Amino acid sequence: MAGLITDPNMTDPDGFYEDLVSAHRGLSDAESAALNSRLVLLLANHVGDSSVLAAALEAAVNTGSATGR
């Protein structure tokens, strides 16, 4: 996974997580999904490098769900 940072890298991980959950508060499933997709697009542009984006996409696809079936 060339270039994708998977070790801790956020300046305020707990704060970010709290903000992310708060942003979804009161939203319908559809509104939440739309918010997430806007966020993905904004972050993807910030990352920019297509190999990092491909690695992130692959990591997300391959991780599956923690509460899995």
**Single-letter amino acid code for the residue at 8:** P
Total of residues contacting another protein (CB under 8 A): 8
Token pair of 69, please? 């079936």
Q: How far is the CB of 14 from another protein (least distance, A)?
A: 27
| Binder of another protein out of 6, 45, 50, 63 (CB under 8 A) | 45
Task: Give residues with Cβ within 8 angstroms of 59, minimum separation 6.
Answer: 1, 4, 6
Q: How far apart are CA 56 and CA 39, in angstroms?
A: 14
38 near another protein (CB under 8 A): yes
> Should residue 23 be labelled a site residue for another protein when binding is judged by CB under 8 A?
no
Site of interaction with another protein (CB under 8 A): 30, 33-34, 37-38, 41-42, 45
